[in-house]
């Protein structure tokens, strides 16, 4: 094998140890390179400069916007027809309704009617056990019969003595006359006792006090009842009204004859009516005043049905109004802001306080003025720009 290939092998694997020693001996010693001095960081100067630029820009921006007038929603005050309405919720009620109760106590033995039945005046509604009262009546009749016999005997005795004339002493006649008078009084007393017993007996039968429909049954056969026990509710459904409570704050504004528009629950059509009754007594517990509204046309509806009613309290052909949101309290004075010469000016006004979105202005505004409809955050004299819808 030839030796010419060995140098090539050594070249591929690096120099020999001897060659390495010779080469290291020929390399001169190197001086250490001095480090480059670091530059001072000045980033905080650039940050400070940026903040100053932002502050100047914000100041310029704020001055720009402060110089601009504040846009405000407005409307032109003009007279227009106005209707003042009081909205109330009520329920259907019968004009004539009564809770039927017994006049005597006892066991309820007969109840010939049911809920929903129509009855006539005088018709039997219930019967209460009257066996004991029948016995009382019979006793009273027997006592009266005995008193009648005693009276008749006393009269006959007196008549015979009177017929004898002078043959009978005057004192005897007087005694017999007093006996007749006493017998007459006993008859009268026992007659009254019998009549009273018969009245009580009749009260054991409960009759309808009027024509109407039975709305509710509150008792059952076999129940022990007394004068405080309701048997049933009877109502005349031929005349129905709406009963509602009005807050006492508006009590003086409601009067009989005022027109009303009503809508029964479950209906889309409205019905006309008029206030037929206004109570003169305020319920101190609720602060409400009872009002009844009659229908102009007959209506058929169940008692207790909810009715939404709008009572028309006042109608004006021309009046100035403002939104409730335009009102602003400046201390103890209530007013609105109007736009004049590009600025908001406070104007005290007088309005008709009413539960509505718009209020009638009675003083403080004149036709043609521009009122700010939402004065939240506005102050007197502030520069504003009218933003009409």
Q: Would you give per-residue pLDDT tens digits along the chain (389 residues)? A: 444 333 333 334 444 444 434 444 454 554 555 555 545 556 666 667 777 777 776 665 555 555 578 888 999 999 999 999 999 999 999 999 999 999 999 999 999 999 999 999 999 999 999 999 999 999 999 999 999 999 999 999 999 888 888 788 888 889 989 999 999 999 999 999 999 999 999 999 999 999 999 999 999 999 999 999 999 999 999 999 999 999 998 988 999 999 999 999 999 999 999 999 999 999 999 899 999 999 999 999 999 999 999 999 999 999 999 999 999 888 889 999 999 888 999 999 999 988 888 999 999 999 999 999 988 888 888 888 877 65
**CB neighbours of 177 closer than 8 A, spacing ≥ 6?**
158
List the one residue out of 140, 113, 116, 138 whose CA is nearest residue 127.
113
pLDDT at 386: 79
For residue 262, give the 3-state DSSP assignment. Answer: strand
Cβ-based neighbour number of residue 32 at 10 Å: 5
What is the rounded distance in angstroms from the CA atom of residue 216 to the CA atom of residue 210? 16
The tokens describing 328, both together, are 């602003």
Instruction: Say what the pTM is.
Output: 0.65
Q: How far is CA 180 from CA 10, 157, 176, in A?
A: 179, 9, 6
List the one residue out of 239, 269, 313 whose CA is nearest residue 88.
313
What is the rounded distance in angstroms from the CA atom of residue 381 to the CA atom of residue 262? 47
Q: How far is CA 300 from the centre of its chain?
A: 24
The tokens describing 261, both together, are 């528009």
pLDDT at 37: 53
pLDDT at 3: 41
pLDDT at 11: 38
pLDDT at 60: 57
pLDDT at 229: 93
Give the chain's length: 389
Q: What is the DSSP letter of 383?
A: B
What is the rounded distance in angstroms from the CA atom of residue 388 to the CA atom of residue 372? 10
The answer to whether residues 373 and 357 touch, using CB atoms and an 8 Å cutoff, is no
What is the rounded distance in angstroms from the CA atom of residue 355 to the CA atom of residue 247? 11
What is the rounded distance in angstroms from the CA atom of residue 301 to the CA atom of residue 237? 9
């Amino acid at each position: 094998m030839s030796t010419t290939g060995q140098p090539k092998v050594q070249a591929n694997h690096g120099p020999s140890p001897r060659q390495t020693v010779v080469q290291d001996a020929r390399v001169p010693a190197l001086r250490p390179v001095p480090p480059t001095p670091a530059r001072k960081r000045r980033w905080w100067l650039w940050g400070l400069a940026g903040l100053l630029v932002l502050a100047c820009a914000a100041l310029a921006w704020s001055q720009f916007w402060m110089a601009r007038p504040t846009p405000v929603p407005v409307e032109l005050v003009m007279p227009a027809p106005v209707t003042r309405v009081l909205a109330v919720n009520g329920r259907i009620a019968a004009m004539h309704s009564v809770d039927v109760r017994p006049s005597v106590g006892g066991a309820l033995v007969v109840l010939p009617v049911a809920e929903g039945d129509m009855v006539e005046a005088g018709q039997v509604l219930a019967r209460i056990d009257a066996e004991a009262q029948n016995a009382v009546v019979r006793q009273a009749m027997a006592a009266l019969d005995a008193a009648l016999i005693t009276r008749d005997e006393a009269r006959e005795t007196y008549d015979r003595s009177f017929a004898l004339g002078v043959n009978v002493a005057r004192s005897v006649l007087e005694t017999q006359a007093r006996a007749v008078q006493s017998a007459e009084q006993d008859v009268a007393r026992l007659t009254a006792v019998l009549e009273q017993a018969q009245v009580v007996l009749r009260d054991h039968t409960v009759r309808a006090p009027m024509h109407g429909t039975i709305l509710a049954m509150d008792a059952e056969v076999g129940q022990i009842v007394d004068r405080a026990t309701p048997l049933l509710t009877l109502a005349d459904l031929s005349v129905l009204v709406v009963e509602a409570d009005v807050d006492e704050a508006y009590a003086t504004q409601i009067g009989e004859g005022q027109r009303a528009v009503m809508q029964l629950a479950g209906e889309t059509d409205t019905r006309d009516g008029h206030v037929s009754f206004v109570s003169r007594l305020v319920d101190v517990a609720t602060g409400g005043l009872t009002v009844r509204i009659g229908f102009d046309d007959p209506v058929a509806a169940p008692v207790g049905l909810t009715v939404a009613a709008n009572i028309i309290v006042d109608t004006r052909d021309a009046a100035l109004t403002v939104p409730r949101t335009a009102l602003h309290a400046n201390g103890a004075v209530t007013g609105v802001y109007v736009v004049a010469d590009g600025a908001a000016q406070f104007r005290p006004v007088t309005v008709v306080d009413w539960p509505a979105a718009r209020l009638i202005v009675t003083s403080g505004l004149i036709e043609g003025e521009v009122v700010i409809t939402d004065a939240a955050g506005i102050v007197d004299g502030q520069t504003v720009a009218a933003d009409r819808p």
